[in-house]
Amino acid sequence: MKRWTCWAALLLALGCGDDSGRDSGGGAVAGSVAGALFDETVVHRVDLTMSPADWASIIADDRGDEYRRCVFAWRGVTLGDVAVRPSGNATRWAGNLKQPLKLKFDEYLPDQRLFGMKTLKLDGLIEQTMMRERIVYGVFRTRIPTAPRTAHTRLYVNGEYRGVYLIEERVSDALLDDRYGKENGNLYRIMVEIPEAFADRGPNAASYMPRPFQPETNELDGDHSVLPLLIDYLHRRPAELATIVDVENLTMFLAMEVALVSRDGFLRDDGPPQNNHMYFRPATGRFEFIPWDMDQTMSVTRSEFHFYHNFEKSRIASVVRERPELDAKFRQYLADVVTNLTSPDALFPRIDEIFAQIRPHVHEDPYKAFSNEEFDGLPGYLKSAVRARYDHLRAQLGLP
C-alpha cells in the first residue's frame, strides 16, 4: 500500500509522470519517474522524522553502522520505517553537524522501495564549494551514462533545517536497471587494499571478495569467475584487454579523472585506487567503470599535473599507458573532454548556474563550517581551477 501511495503521489506531482530522460548536466540517461527526485532545476526539500535520541546518536556517530528508523518525506511522498545511519569515510566523524547519511528503504520492510531504489545518499557537503560533485557527475554523464544523478536539497530533521545537502543516486542495481534494463550483471565496489585492487591474487575468485572487490549484486549466488579472468588479462594478456573490458569506457573514464584532477579515484594521491565501481555487463561480456564520491576534484594546486600523473599506481591505468592503441584512445578522449566538456566556456556557466541556485539556501544553512563571505568567493576559485587545468592540458597535448 505504501508503494502505491508513493507512486501515485509522484505521478500527480509530475503531471501523469512524464519524464524526458535528459538530465540538466547534459547527459542522456534512461527516462524514469525517479528522475523527478534528481531534477536539478529546483532545490528540493527532504524531511526526516525520527527519535531525537536516534538523531543525536547519528551526529555523535556513537553506534557504528547501526540503522535507526525514520519517516522519509519528499514532495508529498511519505515512506515510514526507513533505515538511516551515518555514511562516508573522510566526511564522517563524531560531532559532524552535517553528517552524511545513508537511507535504506528495505531494511525493515523488504519490499519497500523509493521509485525502485533500495538506498539513497544524502551528502552533507563538507567541501566548501558545495558544488563539485554535482558539476563533476554532470560532466561524467555526458559520456558515461551510468554516472550517478544528483540534486541539491534542503534537509529538515524533526522540522529543523539542517542545511544544504546533496541527494545522490547510489551506484546500485536500481541505477543499472534504469540505464540498461534488468540485466542482472555483477556490480562491484572497488575498495582500498594493499596491494592495490588490480594486483594478481591468483585464479580463485574468492581471493578477490569482499576485498578489494565488494559485490553489490549477486553476492551469494553469482558467478564471480570474471574477477580472476580480468586480472589475468591485465597482467598476462594486456593486448587482448578489450575481450574483457569496455576499453572505450575505461579510457574515457581515465580522461575524465585527468581533466577534472580527481585525486581520490583510480588516480588517487594518497594510496591505491578507491571510490569506483565496476560492472560486468552480461549484454556485452565486458567490464565498465562507474564513478563515485567525486568531491576531491577541480583543484588549482594540482592543475599543473601531467596527464599521466599517478598512472603507475594501478595496473588498470598503467596498462592504458603501456598499450599504444589504448594510449592513443585515451589521448583522443582527453582532447575531446578538455575541448568540449571541461573548458571555461563549458564549465563557467554551469558554476554560475548552480551557485545562483543554491546561494540563498547556503546562506541560511546554520551548520555549514564556513562563512557566507567565504562561500561567495568560491565560484572564483573553481573558475581559476578550470582555467588553469584547461591551459596546462592543452599545452601538454599540443592542442591549438
DSSP result, 312-372: GG-HHHHHHHHSHHHHHHHHHHHHHHHHHTSSHHHHHHHHHHHHHHHHHHHHT-TT-SS-H
Where residue 317 falls among pLDDT bands split at 50, 70, 90?
Answer: very high
What's the pLDDT at 23?
36
What's the pLDDT at 385?
97
Q: What is the pLDDT of residues 372-396, one digit of tens each?
A: 999 999 999 999 999 999 999 999 9
Which residue do the cell numbers 592540458 mark? 393
C-alpha 14/C-alpha 47 separation (Å) is 20
Would residue 75 be called left, alpha or beta, if left means φ above 0 and alpha means ψ between -120 and 50 degrees?
left
Q: From residue 207, give the alpha-carbon distance in Å to each of 128, 194, 201, 225, 281.
A: 39, 13, 6, 11, 21
- Strands 44-49, 186-190: pairing is unpaired
- Taking the mean position of all CA atoms in its chain, how far away is CA 71? 25
Choose the weakest-confidence range: 16-20, 174-178, 242-246: 16-20
Where residue 32 falls among pLDDT bands split at 50, 70, 90?
Answer: low
Q: What is the pLDDT of residues 259-277, one digit of tens each?
A: 999 988 888 887 787 889 9
Which residue do the cell numbers 530522460 mark? 21
Is pLDDT above 80 for 149?
yes
Domain ranges of the chain: 2-9+38-175, 183-340
Would residue 186 be called left, alpha or beta, if left means φ above 0 and alpha means ψ between -120 and 50 degrees?
beta
Where residue 221 falls among pLDDT bands split at 50, 70, 90?
Answer: confident
What's the pLDDT at 357?
98
Where residue 33 falls among pLDDT bands split at 50, 70, 90?
Answer: low
Among residues 314, 338, 59, the alpha carbon closest in space to that of 196 is found at 314
pTM (2 d.p.)? 0.90
What's the pLDDT at 90?
75
